[in-house]
């Protein structure tokens, strides 16, 4: 299979497949006479695995661990690995969600301030919103 065929089958841009090879997430592809990359079913399976793992939000280093486990051990080790690591992934996600939720409520507060306070504030900065208060131009 050429990289374009693989791209369609797996649903990843050719660019991305080459990129994965470059960062050693994939081993260097075999080459045909004309120097085109060629892929077989095993390569395809690895790419599906990578895509699935990325879709779970795992970063490329995590994916690399899992691919190696998959290639060098068996899936019972993947299960062990995931059982240990999924809680960590989830904590990371929780942190991000919390951060975003905090941002959102900050924005809501600011929105309310803007609605409640005087819109014309020439030199009456205590009536301004927090962003404006920090600026002397206000």
The residues binding DNA (CB under 7 A) are 2-5, 7, 13-16, 18-20, 29, 33-37, 54, 59-61
- DSSP letter string, the chain: --HHHHHHHHT--HHHHHHHHHTTSSPPPEE-TTS-EE--HHHHHHHHHHHHHHHTT--HHHHHHHHHHHHHS-HHHHHHHHHHHHHHHHHHHHHHHHHHHHHHHHHHHHHHHHHHS-S--TT-GGGS-HHHHT-TT-
Least Cβ distance, residue 118 to DNA (angstroms): 31
Nearest distance from residue 123's CB to DNA, in Å? Answer: 30
CB contact set of 53 (below 8 Å; sequence gap of 6+):
62, 63, 66, 67
- Binding region for its own copies (CB under 8 A) out of 1-9, 12-20, 22-30, 99-107: 99-107
Residues 41-60 that bind its own copies (CB under 8 A): 41-42, 45-46, 48-49, 52-53, 55-57
Site for its own copies in 22-41 (CB under 8 A): 41
The binding site for its own copies (CB under 8 A) comprises 41-42, 45-46, 48-49, 52-53, 55-57, 66, 70-71, 74-76, 78-80, 82-83, 86-87, 89-90, 93-94, 96-97, 100-101, 103-104, 106-108, 110-111, 114-115, 119-122, 125, 128-132, 134-138
């Amino acid at each position: 299979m050429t990289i374009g065929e693989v791209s369609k089958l797996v649903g990843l841009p050719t660019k991305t497949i080459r990129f994965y090879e470059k960062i050693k997430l994939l081993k260097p592809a075999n080459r045909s006479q004309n120097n085109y990359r060629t892929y077989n079913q095993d390569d395809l399976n690895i790419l599906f695995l990578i895509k699935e793992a990325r879709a779970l939000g795992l970063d490329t280093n995590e994916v690399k661990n899992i691919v190696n486990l998959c290639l060098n051990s068996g899936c019972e080790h993947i299960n062990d690995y995931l059982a240990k690591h999924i809680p960590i992934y989830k904590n990371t996600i929780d942190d991000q969600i919390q951060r975003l939720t905090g941002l959102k409520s900050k924005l809501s507060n600011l929105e309310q301030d803007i609605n409640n306070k005087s819109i014309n504030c020439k030199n009456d900065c205590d009536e301004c919103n927090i962003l404006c208060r920090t600026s002397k131009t206000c």
